[in-house]
Structure 1
Amino acid sequence: MAKTFIGPKLRQLRIARDLTQADVAERLGISPAYVNLLENNQRSLSVKMLLAISETFDVDVKELTKDNSAHVLADLRNAFGDTTLEGAAPDIQELRSAIDRAPAFVDHFLQLHRAHRAALRIIMRGGMDGRDEEMLHASPENAIHDIFRKNSNYFAVLEVAAENARRAIPVAPESLFVDLRAGLQKHHGVSVEVRSLEEMGESLRIYDDTSRTLLLSQALNTENRAFQMAHVLAFLTEGRMIAKMARNAQTDPERVQPRLEVELGNYFAAAFLMPYEPFLNTAEETGYDIDRIALAFGVTFEQACHRLTTMQRDKAQGIPFFLLRLDRAGNVTKRFNATSFDLAEYGGACPVWNVHAAFSVPGVIFPQFVEMPDGQQFFSISRTVHRPVFSAETQDRRLTLTLGCEARHAHRIRYAASFKIDDPTLYQPIGINCQLCPRQACSQRAHQPLFINLPIDANRRGSTRYES
């Protein structure tokens, strides 16, 4: 059985309540010296002591034992790989020591680094326009992304709730819409109607709690109609729990909390349509063949990809994936990340990465092995997906969806089967974007890097105008 250490959390709880180690020792019935050992991770916790701490400080046991150190370590490595920092970066042991002994410092350092990156993005997109304060705060999208990532894109309570809801409303992949429609009417008195584009306008879903009526747009295909119905079911059955989860995230109640509730509802919907164990088993059996997975559960390619990023249940984990969805201009419109992939955090603006090539051949999957400047290697697949079409003016609303993981998992994925994974020439060197990329002699460079000087010689012309 794995040992449990919660030293930094215990220290934070004590300091937040203005207690000394002697005060904690008295409440727990142990010696101050033993409290000191616990806080410094020199003693593991027994179940009895864990329960005593939980009761004493009124903190949930799961919250005490939740371990985010792997994600925090990945974020620190990415931050110290920033080209604005000079000199040798701390090694892994130093970073782990900082996480264990100074978690508040690490958290604030990462917040500062995120603010720095946000400021750079705004500057590169056209200046600050007086938005000094805005630059220091994460956007709602980034805040929600961070909350999901801290939970490894997995919420056990929502999984259980979705499984219970599916038992109450049994559905089959080939008849999701019909089964959900009947279930909503029978168990919740909600009637579902599909309305014309003229009636719905730009809205895809409208739910009126007073009349208990759910209106869905004709623009939605069958799979997306089922997803929207499952989303409404989330709030009918677990609305209070979802609201509480959003409040407990301790984020901006006006800018972030409503959006977070929507995303948690989407999580429930995905878990309802694609139950955890059957979904993971199908993924493993098919070699993560996404089209076959989607067919097996009656969902879209994008819904299946999104669900794959949530397969992080303890002792029943799938491959840790990241997911990016981009438009033609390179804007990230959706992202989830269960990996250490820096590119998944800051966009897909590197032209060497083939995420944009998918637009040239819609519906075709583009596999690629890539390597970041710090040596991290990843495997990704990219394919176009479609948004609902409302009229002749909105015909081409394609986006590119990219799903990826660390290269060491690629042997489990069918799309990588034809590649020699151990061939170093297979990996394309990429970066976050040209302004932040330190690579030299890149024929795709579109901007001068901000923090390094590339060699320029009037007597020599390189492959780009930025380097001789």
Structure 2
Amino acid sequence: MKTFIGPKLRRLRGDQNQTQGQMAKALGISTSYVNLLEKNERSVSVPVLLRLLEVYGVDWRDLVDDDDTAKLADLRGVLQDPLFEAERPDLTQLRGALTHSPDLATCFLRLHRAYLAASDQLMSIASADESAQATLPKAPEATVHNFFRRHSNYFHSLETAADAFWAGKRIATDDIYAELKARLRDKLGLRVRVVPVSEMPGTLRAYNEETREVLLSEAMDHPNRVFQLVHVSGLIEQEAVLEDLLTKSGLTDAMGRARCRVELANYFAAAVLMPYGPFLAEILESKYDFDHVATRFGVSFEQACHRATTLQRRGAKGVPFFFLRIDKAGNVSKRFNATDFQLAEYGGACPRLDIHTSFRTPGRIVPQFVEMPDGSQFFVFARTVDRPSFTRFAQDVRLAVAVGCSTEHVGAIGYAEGHSLSEATMTPIGINCRVCPRVNCDQRAHHAVVRSDPVDEKRRGATRYSS
């Protein structure tokens, strides 16, 4: 496979304050070859990559790491905005932009995100009380999601650390909790104690550095107690790895970094409990039966679904999934993405997505074929999951998760069996109402900020927003 490194090579030369001739001399190649490499008119050879490592100390993986797939998906999603309807670039033009002007493409994506954020803030201000009318900062969850998306939801350093966690020991699923308590005690000097809900109201886990205790609430079930112990271990033992990733993330605000550290520690915990190789083999064998693999690895259904989105290692990839979690009001509380499906960032998810319907049938898989405004099609399955209840006044703390992939992968998904793709009914959906361009949708809850259709006072459409 040919490898092109033009923009990254040009950036490296700029960082070194060198001319093409100076870099060519340092690498032992011709100036014209450097020029062709920077223009992506020639692919880079292995000897030149090794020479780059020797001369500049740059890791060749940093040069050849291809994040264009996620960025191309982002560009395609952004350009479905009706703002660009008249002059929408085709796929060839988008690939050309990423090849020759990747920084410009990045700036364009950042600008569009700022536009959406500003639109949402304006709507929030317009509907708020005068005393609350202030510009809202970008949510930490959004910046963390973008960071994970840039890495295709996969972090090799955390996977490597997770593989070394048990130092080669094979731990049976039903022994992991006891082994974790012993490991925390012997290696970190931490004592684990399960406490009544009354001692930690509204708290599931607390780490007390002074008393060297990890306190777990009785409200948590067994899989979540195990997960929290590995999470704490990851925060402490993998501090250097986490800090390195945070440094590379570009996050500067304290809230965003703290939120990202928690999510990276969650990633580490999932990788320990569901080791990459065995988990990938089991999930492929079972055709993504998440109840089965959750039982096999002693984790929750939600944890197994979330882990499936991270199986993006080169040479050993699973089906690229997106993961979405909502509450009963439709608020998006968690989202991870390894596909080109555009997930809701502000407000709720599309009401046509059957993740909402799953609340009617708790614990059962609800399958659905959907089509986005750009014509891309996905297979989605949703199911409810229960959250810990602290008291009888907080019963039915239920959420719903949806996992989806492009329809090209339906043959690998057991939940799609019995559904013929050629005969499937595609449900037209959007990202959410505020940015959805679909006209006359009978589920619309907001006027789309990207549309300026005139209102026909003499006609009433399916909703108050269509005429």
State TM-score, norm by structure 2: 0.93
- Summarize the Cα distance change of 1:406–1:466 in structure 2 as closer, same or farther, 3 Å threshold: same
Matched, 1:254 2:235: no
Q: How does 1:185-224 map to 2 (within 5 A)?
A: 185-224=185-224
Q: Indicate if the aligned counterparts of 1:337 and 1:345 stay in contact, CA closer than 8 A.
A: no
Q: Cα gap change, 1:66/1:346 in structure 2, threshold over 3 Å: closer, same or farther?
A: farther
- CA distance in 1: counterparts of 2:122 and 2:253, whole angstroms: 28
Secondary structure at 2:22 match in 1: helix
Cα distance in 1, alignment partners of residues 170 and 300 from structure 2: 20
The 1:232–1:94 alpha-carbon spacing in structure 2 relative to 1, beyond 3 Å, is: same
Aligned partner of 2:463 in structure 1 is 464
Instruction: Sort the Cα spacing of 1:49 and 1:89 in 2 relative to 1 into closer, same or farther, 3 A.
Output: same
Cα deviations by residue, 1:350-376 (Å, 9 ceiling, x for unpaired): 221111112222212211110011101
Residue 5 of structure 1 contacts residue 41 of structure 1 at CA under 8 Å; is this kept in 2? yes
- What is the aligned partner in structure 1 of residue 232 from structure 2? 232
Q: Between 433-442 and 395-404, report the one with greater CA deviation.
A: 433-442
Given that 1:247 and 1:257 are in contact with CA atoms closer than 8 Å, whether structure 2 keeps it comes out as no
Counterpart position of 2:60: 61
1:456 CA drift (Å): 6.0
Contact 2:366 2:381 in 1 (8 A): yes
CA-CA distance at 1:167 after TM superposition = 3.0
How far, CA to CA, are the matches of 2:16 and 2:134 in structure 1?
Answer: 36
Is 1:361 matched up with 2:361? yes
1:95 lines up with 2:100 in the alignment: no
Matches within 5 A, 1:105-254: 105-127=104-126, 131-132=134-135, 134=136, 138-167=138-167, 170-254=170-254
Question: Which position in structure 2 is the counterpart of 1:373?
Answer: 373
The AA in structure 1 aligned to 2:449 is: L
C-alpha distance 345-421 of structure 1, shift in aligned 2 (>3 A): farther
Pairwise CA RMSD = 2.1
CA contact 1:192–1:216 (8 Å) conserved in 2: yes
SS in 2 for 1:426: coil
Asked if the contact 2:335/2:343 (under 8 Å) is kept, the reply is no
For the residue of structure 2 that corresponds to 1:421, the secondary structure is coil
How many angstroms apart in 1 are the aligned matches of 2:295 and 2:263?
24
Secondary structure, in 3 states, of the residue corresponding to 1:114? helix
Unaligned runs of 5+ in 2: none
Question: What secondary structure does 1:409 align onto?
Answer: helix
Amino acid at match of 1:392: R
Q: Please give the alpha-carbon distance, in whole angstroms, between the structure 1 residues aligned to 2:133 and 2:303.
A: 39
Contact between 1:71 and 1:150, CA under 8 Å: does it hold in 2?
Answer: yes
What are the Cα deviations for residues 200-250 of structure 1, in whole angstroms up to 9, with x where unaligned?
Answer: 222222223454321111111100000001111213332212112212222
Deviation at 1:315, TM superposition (A): 0.9
Q: Distance in 2 between matches of 1:444 and 1:211?
A: 53
Look up the match of 1:391.
Answer: 391
CA offsets, 1:275-294, max 9 Å, x none? 11111111111111110010
TM-score scaled by length of structure 1: 0.93
2-side partners of 1:69 and 1:109: how far apart?
14
| Secondary structure of 2:84's aligned partner | coil
Matches of 1:5 and 1:211, distance apart in 2: 54
Structure 1 residues 192, 154: closer, same or farther in 2, change over 3 A? Answer: same
Q: Note the C-alpha offset of 1:458.
A: 6.0
Q: Which region of structure 1 is more displaced relative to structure 2, 16-25 or 98-107?
A: 16-25
Kept in 1, the 8 Å contact 2:119–2:449? The answer is no
CA 48–416 in structure 1, closer or farther in 2 if over 3 Å, else same: same
State the 1:387 CA deviation.
Answer: 1.8
Question: Equivalents in 1 of 2:133, 2:463: separation in Å?
Answer: 34
In the aligned structure 2, how far is the partner of 1:448 from the partner of 1:245? 40
Q: Which residue matches 1:414?
A: 414
Once the two structures are superposed, residues 15-42 of structure 1 have per-residue CA deviations (whole angstroms, 9 ceiling, x without a partner) of: 2343221222222222221111111122
Report the Cα offset of residue 418 of structure 1. Answer: 1.6
CA distance in 1, matches of 2:349, 2:43: 45
Matched ranges for 1:302-321 at <5 A: 302-321=302-321
The letter of the residue matching 2:304 is A
Structure 2: distance between partners of 1:246 and 1:160: 17
Q: Do the aligned residues in 1 keep the contact of 2:332 with 2:344 (CA within 8 Å)? A: no
CA distance in 2, matches of 1:39, 1:101: 9
Larger displacement relative to structure 2 (79-88 or 14-23) = 14-23
- Alignment of 1:430 with 2:441, yes or no, is no
CA distance, structure 2, for counterparts of residue 258 and residue 427 of structure 1: 40
Which residue pairs with 2:448 in the alignment?
449
**1:52 counterpart = 2:56:** no
Q: How many residues align?
A: 463
Equivalent residue runs for 1:254-333 within 5 Å: 254-333=254-333
Q: Distance in 1 between matches of 2:60 and 2:213?
A: 40
Q: 1:164 to 1:451 in 2, by over 3 A?
A: closer
Q: Work out whether residues 323 and 344 of structure 1, in 8 Å CA contact, stay in contact via their aligned partners in 2.
A: no
Work out the CA distance in 2 between the residues paired with 1:447 and 1:392.
36
Residue of structure 1 equivalent to 2:400: 400
Q: Distance in 1 between matches of 2:67 and 2:22?
A: 28
SS in 1 for 2:434: coil
Query: Aligned in 2, Cα 1:414/1:78: closer, same or farther, shift over 3 Å?
Result: same
Is 2:28 the counterpart of 1:5? Answer: no
Q: Is the 8 A contact 1:323 1:336 kept in 2?
A: yes
Alignment correspondent of 1:77: 76
Secondary structure class of the residue paired with 1:342: coil
Most deviating of 275-284 and 352-361? 352-361
Query: Quick check: 85-94 or 344-353, which moved more?
Result: 344-353
Q: Is the 8 A contact 2:192 2:214 kept in 1?
A: yes
Structure 2 vs 1, CA of residues 455 and 258 (structure 1 numbering), >3 Å: closer, same or farther?
closer
Structure 1 counterpart SS, 2:154: coil
Structure 2: how far apart are the matches of 1:310 and 1:334? 15
Q: Retained in 1: the 8 A contact 2:332–2:345?
A: no
Q: Which residue identity does 2:218 align to in structure 1?
A: Q
Residues 178-219 of structure 1 show CA distances to partners (whole Å, capped at 9, x for unaligned) of 222223223333221111112222222222345432111111
